[in-house]
Amino acid sequence: MNPGIYQALYIISAASFILALKWMSAPATSRRAVISGEIGMLLAIVATLLRQEVISYEWIAAGLIVGSAIGVPLAMLMPMTHVPQRTAISQACGALASALIGTAEYFRQLPHGFTMGALVLETLLGFLTFTASLMAFGKLQELLPSRPITFRGQNFFNLGILVIAVALGGSLVFHPENTIIFSIFVLLALVFGVLMIIPIGGADMPTVIALLNSYAGLSACAMGFALDNKLLIIAGALDGSSGLILSIIMCRAMNRSFTNVLFGGFGQLQAAVAGQEAKPVRSASPDEAAAILGDARSVVIIPGYGMAVAQAQHKIRELHDILIKRGVDVKFAIHPVAGRMPGHMNVLLAEADVPYDKLIEMEDINGEMAMTDVALVVGANDIVNPAALNDPTSPIAGMPILDAYKSRTIMVIKRGMSPGFAGIDNELYYMDKTLMLFGDAKSFVAGIVKELSSNH
């Protein structure tokens, strides 16, 4: 077949990926971005199959069937609350595929020089991302403890494992025929992936997901160099750089050092609320909350992971609609790390058809909080905790928060007084102007909506 045909398809595919990233930057073009990315991937697969390098189309068909049988139900049946877990599994599968291709190429041709260096980088990043993503999935799914698992000298031990793996990989560039060294190198990469994640607490999983996405992309990019496939180089570089940029943004949003993220020295937060003296709080019923919201002129709704767990986004949309009809100015305040992955709250609220222009980012909404009549916190915790500003000894000290505490009245929907991911008490709950609305978020908001509807 004429090489110009599949090369042209590769170019169109690469352009589709670039446009997909560009269009993802705005809600109005996000659907177009998804379609563009899907078209780009389809063209990439077709172009690859048109090349004269496919040994067995039977295995290709089998892989397509098995992958579709797993992927379609995974996408259709996965609840929105588990999107972070699905992302972690997807990254694990992608990274494993890249690492296995690198392993196969190593045993197939035992390359030297630059190609071997690319294979070393590909397999190192691929295998460590595979096990790291599985560990992240386990923590998010609570199959593993979400608290940090640490031991003395952990960072030095982890760094030692990585240094040895890199040294063995370097030796393989000059002596690729030593398959025993390659096997040890692979084992160390797998072990390092596990050790990199276990000291990280659940509060920092959004940053971990973004970082692992970057690693998976860089592994694919290295695979492109090893296979001399320009499309893989472009796609991997796009994935790796976008994940890296996102992880830096997330670090800033959580007041974390990016160097600490790289070395697994972050997320070691303290669960320190047990045994503390109980403090008095004020609570309210759905009808009392409805009366306050109905009399307000401005309301800012602050969603958190509790809203996702309760699947309350549709009831929140109903509350938004009825308040708008009563002439109340309603906005949504979105913290960069609300939920368990970047953009989690945006996706949930968009699913419920909340107008996207009502979703206001933290930097833009904080200036309005002091003039807001009611801040309604739905299942959020650490992202509204004033301890980040007031207590320099707090594990979240310095983390930017939504200034809900400045509002004239604060209402917090929460099942109980349990702490958030950071494992610390929330000063917001004990303020004189705070009302705790205890109960399931979906049911409680439904009660508020019912009361407002009957009094309209």
What are 282's two structure tokens?
Answer: 């004020």
Active site residue 373: no
Contacts for 397 with CB less than 8 Å, ≥ 6 apart: 255, 387, 388, 391
Q: Long-range contacts: 234-240, Cβ < 8 Å, 24+?
A: 234/14, 234/17, 234/18, 235/14, 235/17, 235/44, 238/17, 238/18, 238/21, 239/213, 239/214, 240/214, 240/215, 240/216
Q: Give residue 339's identity as a one-letter amino acid code.
A: G
**C-alpha closest to that of 430 among 448, 450, 412, 408:** 412
What are 215's two structure tokens?
Answer: 């690693």
Q: How many CA atoms lie within 13 A of 179 on its CB side?
A: 8
Q: How many CA atoms lie within 13 A of 281 on its CB side?
A: 21
Q: Give residue 348's identity as a one-letter amino acid code.
A: L
Could you tell me which residues are beta bridge partners of residue 434? 410
Q: List the end-to-end C-alpha distance of the chain, in Å, as a whole number.
A: 71
3-state helix, strand, coil in the chain (%, to 5): 65, 5, 30
Distance in angstroms (rounded) separating the CA atoms of residues 171 and 179: 11
Question: What is the torsion angle, in degrees rounded to the nearest 10, for the CA atoms of residue 243, residue 384, residue 150 and residue 89?
Answer: -40
Q: Which helix (H) or strand (E) holds 376?
A: strand 374-378
Distance in angstroms (rounded) separating the CA atoms of residues 376 and 354: 16
Distance in angstroms (rounded) separating the CA atoms of residues 14 and 424: 46
Tell me phi and psi for residue 385, to 5 degrees.
-85, 115
Q: Is residue 87 exposed (0-12), middle (13-18) or buried (19+ Cβ within 10 Å)?
A: buried
Distance in angstroms (rounded) separating the CA atoms of residues 219 and 177: 22
- The one catalytic residue in 204, 239, 382, 403 is 382
What are 19's two structure tokens?
Answer: 């446009």
Distance in angstroms (rounded) separating the CA atoms of residues 135 and 150: 15
Distance in angstroms (rounded) separating the CA atoms of residues 255 and 68: 40
Write out the catalytic residue numbers.
382
